[in-house]
A and B are shown apart, each in its own frame.
Chain A
């Protein structure tokens, strides 16, 4: 009985920190999320509010993971490259979030296309981290 009370506490306290490979996976995941949400919005199949929130969320998540990565960068890749691609992605995502509000689809598409380029780069970086593990 005591066990059932102590367990939830234990869960909250104990969760091991993510490895660099997991962090890179998360980066890929969030950049792709932004891309996919952007696609859906361009097709007019998702509400503006949702799209803006999803973009803001991925921007914020990328910021957090980026800060962590800067503290302990994965040894296999160039820290500066990673840093710049993260900053660029976040810039595009932030622009997209703004353009949703303005309902400016053409400019949104331009930003989305640039994000796609960064998405591929992020994927390459993540793969190289994975292969060195």
Chain B
């Protein structure tokens, strides 16, 4: 019974992890500019993520090591340090973007500009980590996250042309704006395949004390949860394609994005969008701050658990405190969160090989995983992901310059 409950919560959690400012903005921009054409990128990103998340959970459940533990042990400190620097810079940018997303949501509701929200929002996020337990954060954020289902409701209410949607699931190259198209595809993939989600998930498996008996549950959560999240993202894209594209509205700023659901749900669309954004970004901000703190604590072998009193794992608590303080600064200065989002998505793509290649080694380690290590199917999938990640790493920078 307990496991069934955990299963349900796990699925919802992964939804919370999937939908955040990055996936919403990239999907909305893609839909507003290219209609259904970029749906395939969300599909591909979701498929990759399902496999990566399943593997992250399996590694933790079997070896009782998180990805970061295992990476430090196998690859040594110098390599770990390189990954640490890359991961922290990008995760920090994403954190700034998420806090900005919450601020924007509050701005369109109240009219008070988002820089004013930087301090209160960061404080609330910090307070939850400081006082709250892991399950409170995991389950609270995810249950509230159900409000994002309104994106799917809106998509259905606009009666999309299903054959068009289906053809969007097959990659195509447009006649014009090739660079912009490519840039958005890369950003969508960067928003979906985010390594911090893997680190957070594998730490969560340790926090929840998973063992081998959780392997089927893990598979189920990864499969259904990520699919659910992917469908939500697709919902955003479809709504943008139907509500904004015909009018020629591009999603460059948040006030434009706020109009997303006003056609489908005239009465509540605006408020549902604001609520969805606030909740989704809030959940993501918590997950990213914790992922950064986990990364340090596990890599250096400190005590860590979100359930401990801060002074019992002081360095862990110190990391998330500092990181959330620092993240408020760019917002106070009025840095545009959407620009930060787009930049961090492309950078995620550019540094993806750094996260995925070591992961392939770990998932084949007989000492950690024994008979639960990757079979040839999973390995081929990771090989394909690595291939994609190298292509992304090579093209993301030129595309950012030409299409960003």
Contacts and interface: CB of A to CB of B under 8 A. Distances in A.
Interface residues of A, number: 35
Interface string A10-35: 11001110000000011011001101
A45 B270 CA distance: 7
Contacts of B256: 29, 33, 54
Of A8, A33, A45, which is in contact with the most chain B CB atoms at under 10 Å from its CB? A33
Contact of B248 (A8, A25, A45): A25
B111 A11 contact: no
Interface of B: 82, 85-86, 89, 93, 107-111, 176, 247-250, 252-253, 255-256, 258-259, 262, 266-270, 343, 346-347, 350-351, 397, 400-402, 404
Given A26-B250, A29-B252, A37-B259, A7 B347 contact: yes
A46 interface: yes
A71 interface: no
Nearest to B265: A45
A32 B247 contact: yes
Given A4-B89, A50-B255, A54-B255, A40 B270 contact: yes
Interface in A68-98: none
Contact of B255 (A7, A37, A39): A37
B258 A45 contact: no
Contacts of A15: 400-401, 404
B22 to A, nearest CB: 16
B266 A35 contact: no
A29 B248 contact: yes
Interface of A: 1, 4-5, 7-8, 10-11, 14-16, 25-26, 28-29, 32-33, 35-37, 39-40, 43, 45-50, 52-54, 57, 123, 126, 133
Contacts of A7: 347, 350, 397
26 contacts: A4-B86, A7-B350, A7-B397, A8-B89, A8-B93, A8-B343, A10-B401, A11-B343, A11-B400, A14-B401, A15-B404, A25-B248, A26-B250, A29-B248, A29-B252, A32-B247, A33-B259, A36-B247, A40-B259, A40-B262, A45-B269, A45-B270, A47-B108, A47-B110, A54-B258, A57-B255
Chain B, interface SS category: helix
Contacts of A10: 397, 401
A126 to B, nearest CB: 8
B33 to A, nearest CB: 9
B157 to A, nearest CB: 15
Contacts of B266: 40, 43, 45
A46 B258 CA distance: 10
Given A15-B401, A50-B270, A133-B176, 7 more contacts: A25-B248, A36-B249, A36-B259, A45-B269, A47-B109, A53-B111, A57-B253
Contacts, number: 95
A133 B255 CA distance: 30
B137 to A, nearest CB: 29
A47 to B, nearest CB: 7
A28 B248 contact: yes
Minimum-distance CB pairs A-B, first 6: A49-B111, A28-B248, A54-B255, A32-B247, A29-B250, A14-B401
A20 to B, nearest CB: 14
Contacts of A48: 111
Contacts of A53: 107-108, 111, 255
Contacts of A52: 111
A46 B259 CA distance: 9
A32 to B, nearest CB: 4
B190 to A, nearest CB: 13
A127 to B, nearest CB: 10
A8 B397 CA distance: 10
